């Protein structure tokens, strides 16, 4: 497992098998820093193992540590974040 400032990813056997890409940005209306999740991908062979959810949890942990909120543009991220109340503190809806 490894991370950069714009992505979280999971590697197995030397290959990236799951990846979440995001963009840190500043919301114009209130100038707060937010995380825009724009893409989540899990290789077909590794789907169904919870890797996508693991990546969502890692970006949520990062957002909380940095006191940021998340705008999920990626349909998968949006589905996961909106489906569980435990993400309510970091989720921005209605964008």
Q: Interior CA angle at 19 toward 10 and 69, to 5°?
A: 110
Number of alpha carbons in the 13 Å side-chain half-sphere of residue 68? 22
> Cβ distance 77 to 87 under 8 Å?
no
Span 44-76, pLDDT tens digits: 999 999 999 999 999 999 999 999 999 999 999
pTM of the entire predicted model: 0.89
Q: Which two tokens stand for residue 58?
A: 């890692």
Residue 37, exposed/middle/buried by CB under 10 A (0-12, 13-18, 19+)? buried
| Separation CA 78–CA 48 (nearest Å) | 18
């Amino acid at each position: 497992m490894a991370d950069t400032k714009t992505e979280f990813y999971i590697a197995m056997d030397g290959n990236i098998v799951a990846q979440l890409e995001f963009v840190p940005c500043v919301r114009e209306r209130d100038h707060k820093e937010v995380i825009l999740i724009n893409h989540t991908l899990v290789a077909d062979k590794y789907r169904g193992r919870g890797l996508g959810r693991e990546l969502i949890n890692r970006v949520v942990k990062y957002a909380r540590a940095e006191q940021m909120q998340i705008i999920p543009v990626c349909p998968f991220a949006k589905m996961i974040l909106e489906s569980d109340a435990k993400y309510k503190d970091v989720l921005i809806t209605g964008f």
